[in-house]
Amino acid sequence: MKRKEKLIVVLSVLVLLGLILSQYLVVRNSAEIEKENSTIVGEKRELTKVNFKTEVTLALTKVRDKLISANKEISNNIYLDPVKQIQEDYYVVSFYDTISKVLLKPLIEEEFSKYYIDKDYQIGVYDCFTDSIIFDEYTTALNNIPLKWEHDGYYFGVYFTNLSTIEPIETSSVQYISILGTLVILIAGSFLFYLARSILKQKKISAITYDFINNMTHELKTPISTISLSTDVLLQTTDSDENERLHRYLTIIKTENTRLENQVERVLQIAKLDKDKIELNFEPIDIHKVINTCIETFNVPVHQRNGEIYQDLKATETMIIGDIIHVTNIIYNLFDNANKYSSKAPIISIKTINLNNQIKIIISDEGIGIKKEDCKEIFNKFYRVSTGDVHNVKGFGLGLYYVKKMMLKHNGDITIESELNKGSQFTLTFPLDNK
């Protein structure tokens, strides 16, 4: 697995662990908050009940006092604890004389309003003749009518019909946040699992592909070597004057076999490059010598097409650190492309300059050029510029990919400037050897 893929997996795991830890803290804090809220709400409800009871007791005591004041005959009698709570929603008030509901109701309304008691209630008055307490008419439809109070004397009762809604408990939004956080973690975990699975699958496919290419290229090398050796023997033993046509065919076989061998070797090198298994032999290199070697190689094929190679090597510092074989291949590839992608007589120029402790190699041509949108993709593996149904130039789309990879291996860079039907310019940048 490449370092970048490992870094992605490690960071993903760390992010997932961070989310899990954060969610754990959120859930724990939410549980503590819910517990505190429940305690607070419970205490608040109890306090509200106590306050309500106190207010009702005070209000009903004042009602009773007013009734006593209205009845002068019993105004001097003493009554202890006149108001009693029978159950949570039912209060009774003791009295030792007949009670008029007509007088009682406005007194209760007046005192309840003073204490801001706004709950629905019904008034019941004890009737000695029937030995029962009679509430308002519509109260009789209720199933939980208060029982009669065992009391010696007259009394009246106040029954609150909807006291159970005195303080509803509100559900905290922290629960919903915890649920949402859990869902986010599950989604993130699923994504990371899919990512890790995809990376492992890609690694497996890459390993299978590399083994296939490695085996295939080695299998191809054997017949290629055999053909090359046989062709060399035939060329040496054949008299060109006696059989000129046979000699020409053998030369073609030799040339094409060499080209095939180079293509197979390139595919193998690309596979090794992708797996970081390619070994580079770094040493001091005079880049001008490499350029001159490539110019000598391409002078013949370019001149055969009535083309020309122009050079302007102005760089004064030309020593770099690199692998001589791969640096030569880099420049060779760019020359080869400049020659192949020139529809007319190839005009190729190469120049060098020193800039910021670097050497820049600029190779340009007057060939068919590349569209701007293709310039962004030209260094990708297997990418080839679309030419419709015309395939004048053969290749695998590996040349510039190889060049880009090798430039990065040499701590350098490559850029392209191109215009369709006007030509292309590639700029190679190598760091100088300062030793």
Pair (333, 417) in one structural domain: yes
Q: Are 16 and 189 in contact (CB under 8 A)?
A: yes
Averaging pLDDT over each range in 190-199, 207-216, 275-284, which range is the top one?
A: 275-284
Q: Is the pLDDT of residue 431 over 90?
A: yes
Q: Are 253 and 391 in a shared domain? A: no
Q: Give the β-pairing of 358-365 and 347-354.
A: antiparallel
Q: Does residue 267 sit in the same domain as residue 292? A: no
Is 180 inside a domain boundary? no
Confidence category of residue 379, pLDDT binned at 50, 70, 90? confident
- Residue 349 burial by Cβ neighbours in a 10 Å radius (0-12, 13-18, 19+): middle
Percent of the chain residues topping a pLDDT of 90: 20
Residue 371 and residue 405 in one domain: yes
Same domain for 156 and 225, yes or no, is no
Same domain, 94 and 27: yes
pLDDT for residue 29 is more than 90: no
Rounded mean pLDDT, 355-363: 93
Q: CA-to-CA distance for 342 and 298, rounded, in angstroms?
A: 14
Reply yes or no on whether the pLDDT at 111 is more than 80. Answer: yes
Structural domain count of the chain: 3
Give the model's pLDDT for residue 287: 94
Asked whether the beta carbons of 34 and 177 are under 8 A apart, the reply is: no
CATH number at residue 256: 1.10.287
HSE-up of residue 335 (Cα within 13 Å, Cβ side): 28
Paired with 91 in beta bridges are 85, 158
Split at pLDDT 50, 70, 90, the class of 357 is very high
Chain centroid, CA 423 distance in Å: 41
Confidence of residue 353 (pLDDT cuts 50, 70, 90): very high
Domain range for residue 137?
3-165
Domain contains 187: no
Residue 407 pLDDT: 93
pLDDT, tens digit (0-9, with 9 covering 90-100), for 184-195: 777 877 777 777
Q: Using alpha carbons, select from 97, 57, 101, 93 the residue that is nearest to residue 77.
A: 97
Asked which of 274, 302, 328 is the last residue of a domain, the reply is 274
Tokens 């076989």, located at residue: 253
The three-class DSSP label of residue 241 is coil
Residues 98-110, mean pLDDT to the nearest whole number: 82
Q: Is 150 within a domain? A: yes
Look at 64-73, 159-168, 301-310, 336-345 and tell me which has the smallest mean pLDDT: 159-168
Mean pLDDT value across residues 370-391: 73
Q: How sure is the predictor about 239, in pLDDT bands with cuts at 50, 70 and 90?
A: low
Q: How would residue 142 be classed by pLDDT, with cut points 50, 70 and 90? A: very low
pLDDT at residue 42, as a whole number? 80
Assess whether 141 and 210 both reside in one domain. no
When pLDDT is cut at 50, 70 and 90, the band that residue 242 belongs to is low
422 plus 289 within the same structural domain: yes
- Identify the residue whose tokens are 């205490």: 43
Quick check: 166 pLDDT over 60? no
3-state secondary structure of 132: strand
| Domain annotation covers residue 155 | yes
Q: Which of 8-22, 222-236, 303-317, 407-421 has the lowest mean pLDDT?
A: 8-22
What is the rounded average pLDDT for all residues in the chain? 79
Contacts of the segment 47-56: beta carbons below 8 A, 24+ positions apart? 48/166, 48/167, 49/88, 49/166, 52/117, 52/166, 53/85, 55/115, 55/116, 55/117, 56/83, 56/91, 56/115, 56/117, 56/158
**Lowest-pLDDT range, 10-19, 150-159, 387-396, 407-416?**
387-396
Q: Is 368 exposed, middle or buried (0-12, 13-18, 19+ CB in 10 A)?
A: buried
Give the residue from 354, 384, 374, 357 showing the smallest Cα distance to 420: 374
Model confidence pLDDT, tens digit, residues 389-419: 444 565 666 788 889 988 999 999 999 999 8
Q: Output 204 or 286, whichever has higher pLDDT.
A: 286
| Interval 279-321: pLDDT, tens | 788 999 999 999 998 898 888 889 999 999 999 999 999 999 9
Confidence (pLDDT) at 139:
42
Residue 188 lies in a domain: no
Please report, as a single letter, which amino acid is at residue 184: V
E strands within 235-390?
A: 283-286, 308-313, 319-322, 347-354, 358-365
The pLDDT of residue 358 is above 90: yes
